Amino acid sequence: MKIDLSSKVALVTGASGNLGRVIARTLAECGADVAVHYRSNETGARDVQKQIEALGRRSVCLRADITDQQEVLRMRDEARIALGAPDIVVCNAVIQYPWTGILDQSPVDFESQFRSCTLHAVLMAQAFVPAMQAKRHGRFLAINTECALQCSPNQGAYASGKRGLDGIMRVLAREIGPDGITVNQVAPGWMISQSDRSAGTESQPDYEEKIPLRHRGEDQDIANAVAFLASDQAAFITGAFLPVCGGNIMPGI
């Protein structure tokens, strides 16, 4: 079985970051043309664009604040002009912030997580889903997190934003399923990314001993899950929350 995304156009938000860059490159390796979104890391985004073009695929870098409706709409228009209306949208971007307990966490951090997780998905859906509806085909994906089910100390703002995202994605799956569009989430664990490889921090024994598979996963594992859910092989999967975390969380039935 081969994942074939040729003739498809994908857009990945936060595509200059640790997970986003691997997701964007993997979709290109499967044959998709890819719009690379970034907010501030233009250098990283340009590097990802070059990697995609080296694979023989078309690519464009698009700067936008994914919490601002007008900027998301501008990004939609720029993507359409450069590559065509995206068939695959991956909501991956999130605002980073210092984690602490709920009693000490600034309200600003709770707002930032709502805006960059929950509202992000809403604005992207409003901007990009209508074109999918016109074609009666599309893949709308979001990166969630194992933290949404762990609800561990110091995760309050992050977990609240991602739980809001989960609710939006489940409702959206029911609303646009009749239009032939699937809506799914991939929930990473604490994955090994390029920043770990550069810093030599791949091994995290305290975390790994809690994982049934006893090791951390790789950024590529997340990209593989995204590529599968974006493909025709996953045409009958929608509304899913797919943990990719070595069994660290196991959603109930």
Any idea what the CATH number is for the domain that residue 20 is in? 3.40.50.720
- Specify if 187 maps to a domain: yes
Share of the chain above pLDDT 70, in %: 100
pLDDT at 238 over 90: yes
Q: Residues in the chain, how many?
A: 253
- Specify if 1 maps to a domain: no
pLDDT at 222 over 90: yes
- Specify if 251 maps to a domain: no
pLDDT at 253 over 90: no
Residue-wise pLDDT tens digits, 173-221: 999 999 999 999 999 999 999 999 999 999 999 999 999 999 999 999 9
Taking residues 161-171, what's their average pLDDT?
98
Number of domains the chain is built from: 1
- Specify if 4 maps to a domain: no
- Specify if 32 maps to a domain: yes
Confidence band for 63, pLDDT divided at 50, 70 and 90: very high
- Specify if 234 maps to a domain: yes
Q: Six-digit token pair at 203?
A: 């091994």
Residue 199 has a pLDDT of 94
Catalytic residues: 158
Confidence band for 76, pLDDT divided at 50, 70 and 90: very high
- Specify if 250 maps to a domain: no
pLDDT at 152 over 90: yes
Residue 1 has a pLDDT of 79
Residue 252 has a pLDDT of 85
Residue 15 has a pLDDT of 98
Domain with 183, as residue range(s), is: 9-244
Share of the chain above pLDDT 90, in %: 98
Confidence band for 244, pLDDT divided at 50, 70 and 90: very high
3-state helix, strand, coil in the chain (%, to 5): 50, 15, 35
- Specify if 33 maps to a domain: yes
3-state class of 14 per DSSP? coil
Q: In the predicted model, what is the mean pLDDT of the chain?
A: 97
Q: Six-digit token pair at 162?
A: 């991602």
Q: What are phi and psi of 241, to 5 degrees?
A: -120, 100
Residue 161 contacts residue 113 (beta carbons within 8 Å): yes
pLDDT at 135 over 90: yes
